């Protein structure tokens, strides 16, 4: 398949009529010290792209979406060939690819000025009725959006459901071929526990810690922990329970160093990504003003991160 131009792919031909396109200029305020888009800002723009699709595509008032209902994220899976750079003009393209039980599954790609797919995202969204505090079945609201079901889909296989437990890691938790996991040069490293409260600046309009803040915290662990630094080329986050202002979140995990480096192809329209390290991070939460050294708290999030040496 020709991966140089997303608009020439079979996938685009199948999803074009269902997609929302949102052009974005990468402003100075969006980039880091390397003139690349901040990971947290990228997650924020992906979230806003879904919101733009809701504004311009959905017909909520016709399909029973009430004022007490709110959108929440269940998972986010992201792979990137490279991060957009300062002053670059990019386009976010998004569509709903499936509806199952309470989940709207949404795909998003980011293309550069030449039409190349540089970022691919799969996210699961669900709706909570704040009046009842219960999820709303997606089937009853599915007609809000036109649903694309491309064949083959953007993501094969789906990677959104992270079920790993940090005390009993299984090969499937790393999401890598068995041949890669069996490389004799591989080694494991522990990511020590870090405790931080949820700050006021990290909460969103629902009163919960925003997914952007999760991404920033996860990325920070690989700047601060010796031997784990590198460029993030992929990140999967499963949001297990909400955290509010003042909640103590404890994160810890493991890093698998790959030797030699391996190449993965997350989506056909992107091509292969080099991976030197894979990290699994687990987040536990405790209520405000509790001792972070007490017994394990409630599961808050799980994450898988792919890193390439800088």
Q: Where are the beta strands (DSSP E) in the chain?
A: 20-25, 69-80, 89-100, 103-111, 117-129, 134-135, 187-197, 231-239, 248-264, 273-286, 298-308
Please tell me whether residues 192 and 140 are part of one structural domain.
no
Phi-psi region of 246 (alpha: psi -120 to 50; beta: other; left: phi over 0): left
Same domain, 96 and 192: no
In a domain, 105, yes or no: yes
| Residues 139, 178 within the same domain | no
The separation between CA 249 and the C-alpha centre of its own chain, rounded to angstroms, equals 19
Indicate whether 65 belongs to any domain.
Answer: yes
Enclosing domain of residue 300: 171-308
165, part of any domain: no
Residue 61's pLDDT is what?
Answer: 66
Specify the pLDDT at position 198: 95
Q: CATH code at 122?
A: 3.10.129.10
How much is the pLDDT for 60? 66
* Boundary-marking domain end, from 105, 128, 144: 144
How many structural domains comprise the chain? Answer: 2
Q: Do 214 and 137 fall into the same domain? A: no
26 and 117 housed in the same domain: yes
> Residue 163: which residues within 8 A CB-CB, separation 6 or more?
none
User: Do residues 114 and 215 both lie within one domain?
Assistant: no
- Residues with Cβ within 8 Å of 242's Cβ and at least 6 positions away in sequence, in order, are 72, 206, 208, 209
- For residue 157, is it within any domain? no
Residue 188 located in a structural domain: yes
Q: Are residues 22 and 122 in the same domain?
A: yes
Boundary-marking domain end, from 144, 179, 206? 144
**Whether 22 and 130 share a structural domain:** yes
Q: Which of 144, 163, 195 is the last residue of a domain?
A: 144
Q: Does the residue 231 lie in any domain? A: yes
C-alpha dihedral, 276 to 239 to 220 to 275, nearest 10°: 10
Q: Is residue 209 part of a domain?
A: yes
**131/227 same-domain check:** no
Ranges of residues in the chain with a pLDDT under 70 are: 1-3, 60-64, 156-172, 223-229, 289-296, 310
136 and 175 housed in the same domain? no
Does 289 fall in a domain? Answer: yes
Residues 185 and 289 in one domain: yes
Same domain, 62 and 107: yes
> What's the confidence (pLDDT) of residue 292?
52
pLDDT at 160: 46
């Amino acid at each position: 398949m020709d991966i140089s131009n997303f608009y020439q792919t079979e996938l685009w031909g199948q999803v074009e009529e269902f997609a929302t396109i949102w052009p974005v200029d990468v402003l100075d305020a969006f980039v880091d010290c390397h003139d690349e888009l901040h990971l947290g800002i990228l997650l924020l723009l992906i979230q806003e792209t879904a919101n733009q699709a809701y504004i311009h595509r959905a017909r909520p008032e016709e399909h029973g979406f009430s004022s007490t209902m709110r959108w929440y994220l269940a998972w986010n899976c992201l792979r990137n060939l490279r991060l957009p750079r300062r002053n670059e003009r990019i386009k976010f393209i998004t569509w709903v690819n499936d509806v199952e039980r309470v989940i709207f599954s949404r795909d998003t790609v980011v293309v550069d000025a030449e039409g190349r797919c540089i970022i691919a995202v799969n996210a699961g969204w669900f709706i909570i009725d704040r009046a009842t505090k219960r999820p709303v079945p997606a089937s009853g609201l599915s007609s809000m959006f036109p649903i694309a079901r491309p064949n083959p889909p953007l993501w094969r296989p789906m990677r959104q459901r992270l079920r790993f437990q940090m005390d009993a890691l299984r090969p499937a938790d790393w999401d890598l071929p068995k041949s890669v996991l069996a490389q004799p040069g591989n080694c494991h490293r522990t990511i020590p526990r870090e405790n931080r409260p949820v700050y006021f600046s990290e909460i969103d309009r629902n009163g919960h810690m925003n997914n952007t803040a999760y991404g920033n915290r996860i990325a920070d662990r690989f700047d601060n922990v010796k031997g784990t630094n590198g460029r993030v080329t992929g990140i999967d986050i499963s949001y297990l329970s909400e955290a509010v202002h003042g909640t103590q979140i404890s994160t810890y995990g493991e890093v698998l160093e790959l030797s030699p480096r391996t190449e993965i192809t997350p989506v056909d329209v992107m091509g292969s990504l080099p991976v030197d390290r894979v990290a699994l991070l687990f987040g536990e939460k405790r209520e405000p003003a509790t001792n972070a050294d007490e017994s394990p708290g409630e599961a808050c999030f799980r994450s898988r991160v792919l890193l390439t040496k800088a």
